[in-house]
Amino acid sequence: MNSKLYKLMNWPRIEGVIYSEEDNPHDILGPHVVGKSVLFQTFQPGAMAVTIKTQPGDKRHKMEMVDETGYFACLISGKIPDDYVYEIKNKDGNLQTMRDAYKYSVGIDAKDIDKFNAGIHYSIYEKLGAHPMTVQGISGTFFAVWAPNAQRVSVVGDFNGWDGRIHQMKRNAEGGIFEIFIPDVKPGECYKYEIKAKGGLTFMKADPYAFGQQLRPETASIVRDISGYQWKDQKWMDNRAAFQSENSPISVYELYLGSFKRNADTGEYLNYRELAEEIIKYVKETGYTHVELMPVMEHPLDASWGYQVIGYYAPTARYGSPEDFMYFVDALHQAGIGVILDWVPAHFPRDTHGLSGFDGTCLYEHMDPRKGAHPHWGTLIYNYGRPQVSNYLIANAVFWVEKYHVDGIRMDAVASMLYLDYGKRDGEWVANIYGGNENLEAVELLKHLNSIMKKRNPDVLMIAEESTAWPKITGRLDDGGLGFDLKWNMGFMNDYLSYIGNDPYFRAHHHNELTFSMIYAYSENFMLVFSHDEVVHGKSTMIGKMPGILEDKFANLRLTYAYMMTHPGKKLLFMGQDIAEFKEFDETRQTEWALLNYNTHEGIHRLVKDLNKLYREKPALYALDTKPEGFEWINCISPEKCMVSFMRKTDKPEEVLVVTVNFANVEQEFVIGVPYEGKYKEILNTDAKCYGGLGRVNGRAKSVSEQEADGKPYSFKMTAAPLSASIFAFVPYTEKEKHQIEKKKAELEAERRAQAAMQEADEARRQALAAKEEALAAKKQAQEAERKAKEAQKKAEQELLKAQEAQDRAQTLKNTP
């Protein structure tokens, strides 16, 4: 080695590069101006010789090996050439050409890093991760990763033989971010970060911000350019707010993409594009307004159904590329179908290529396992109080909305985030600073996310799967709420399934389970759900939960769906349940579509289809969905009859619907009290033959009578088939009908008055006759009295005469001597 070159060598720093302990290799590697010359240094482990080929001029300069491990240097007079490459001769004699990554000084600026460190960089995914770009006319990829506690970080991939010594990254002076621009790395290339932790442990990690990941069981990240897709859903995006307002009809079809349909010949997964065609056809036919996809973010374990995520920014490769997934969303939007994604910010798996112990420390999780681990799930809990971690999650939700046009985020396991002791025994958790079990940092994350989402994308739905009584989940942020749009109503689901699972003979004793949901129905904005959670792990499917013989099971299921669709709240039903699958959900198979060849199963599907149509078309079922004025019990206090009846209303009387549900396994006749005079026409009966029932329906419209019932001025009689639900639409009388009714009433009134007059005349005649009879009787009594008086007088005269005669005889005798 010539002496001048020797003196220019920074041997301690060179040793740091060779031993992969240098966190700022750009200081020495690459070209550096030295006086009127340029010092080139490169580390090519195992290389036998390296030559610099410069442009313009196509000149070659042999580099000197200054360390036998493959460290080369040379001094070239002049300025830094516009373009140059290294020609590397390997031990086997093969030549490899490589551009110098250390020529380029590309990095994240201080403003971006400050925002990230404060937790408020909502598009940080555009900075961190792998981003194809052109620098100084050379195409390549810029890599950046947050690993503040790492000693050294390198990019490894197919482009450098997975050797972490070749592309060691520079630590950004503003924070714990490592970065490097590598020329000629193109979209589609696989890579990872090789991290050397303090203490010397070296391991590889997938990129937390990667836009693509390999299909399991492979674990590398993939460079993806997601900027080129041409969206065609502007009409949907412009009108989305109208489809997703507080009082819009929202009926969601929840599905697992891998089990919806598969390739008929091979049994393999369909591509996102193929799935789009199949799902659009089915969802449009059945009448759902939205689909909710179980997590599509990349995950290593099929059996987790996507709920143990590794690649938060990467659509799973099981079904294709990011562009394929964009096409999927785009196609559904063009068909008028909204797309909601399940999203899992509550925990992450321990897989060593993922986030766990990312930089050799507990970076994304808590160090204390009482805070950082779920003992029952075997997963790790995010450290929500670390700004960069909360930024990672908040930006991820924004990413799916803004880059993939999704219409809603359904947040999984919110209860486990809110409570520090969720699923834990005493000694397994640590109280907050106030001694309580509330996770204050998670609460702040949720509020922060919902606040930012509504500012940036106000028409996107934020939905919480939350199973406790935590107050104001859907409350406004400025009123102490968490700011969600909807909360899954787990109480309704649990109570209803408990009630319907009883034999009808015993349901009278569980009536409160049926009606209790209306006590709190307006405490939150709810979505009623029969989700995947209810048809797995031995819980049985919806049809399997129903009691009785087979016919009764189907009847119970039919009335269940009718009751759900008429109960206040948005709707969600998991795939396979709308065709009455008996087998529990299994991610290894597709939905049993052959069941639609059977009348009973096809009947369930037709019922769901008609219920969805009714739900969308009848404003009473959604227009006042979040207001008590939209619902009114007619009869909820007849547990002995196992029945309920209620009204769904708008502010227009003519739109009212009357719902009667007979949960008893006997036919019953009900008198239903109603507030409006008119006819009530049955528009749906779950016992109709087309749904698999026996056809015991109320065929003709029911005119009301002016007979009070249920506290209402009018009523009508209806017959309820066993285990059935009936929906009646109020039909006001037409003017002609009103005229006929008034004419009929007038005729009846005239007839009534005539009859009353006749009755009065008859009564008058009766009274006159009675008076005459009384007068005759009085005359007879007077005559009899006169006769008796004469007889008494005559008798008295006779007695007086006798007395006079007796007195005369006595006097005669007295005068006789």
Residue 578 known to be catalytic: no
Cα 767 from Cα 753, distance rounded (Å): 20
| Distance linking the first and last C-alpha atoms of the chain | 211
Residue located via tokens 């000694």: 427
Q: How many beta carbons lie within 10 A of that of residue 37, not counting itself? A: 16
Pure H helices in 23-169: 110-118
| Angle at CA of residue 337, ends 336 and 341, nearest 5° | 150
To which H or E segment does residue 32 belong?
strand 30-34
DSSP string covering 587-631: TTS---GGGGGSHHHHHHHHHHHHHHHHHHH-GGGTTTTTSGGGE
Catalytic residue flag (residue 402):
no
CB burial string 262-299: b at 16+ within 10 A, e below: beeeeeebbbbbbbbeebbebbeebbbbbbbbbbbbbb
* Residue 38: half-sphere exposure toward Cβ, Cα within 13 Å: 16
Prior bond of 217 cis (ω within 30°): yes
Distances in Å between the Cα of 311 and the Cα atoms of 51, 67, 343, 676 are 40, 39, 12, 58
Q: For the CA atoms of the chain, what is the radius of gyration?
A: 44
Q: Rounded to the nearest 5°, which phi and psi values hold at 630?
A: -85, 0
Phi then psi for residue 203, to 5 deg, are: -155, 165
Given the residues 194, 292, 465, 682, the one annotated as active site: 465
In SS3 terms, 96-131 reads as EEEECHHHCCCCCCHHHHHHHHHCCCCCHHHCCEEE
Return the number of other C-beta atoms located less than 10 Å from residue 15's C-beta. 13
Angle at 476 between CA 470 and CA 477, to 5 degrees: 90
Q: Which of 23, 292, 407, 412 is catalytic?
A: 412
Name the token pair of 128. Answer: 């961190």
Q: What residues are labeled active site?
A: 412, 465
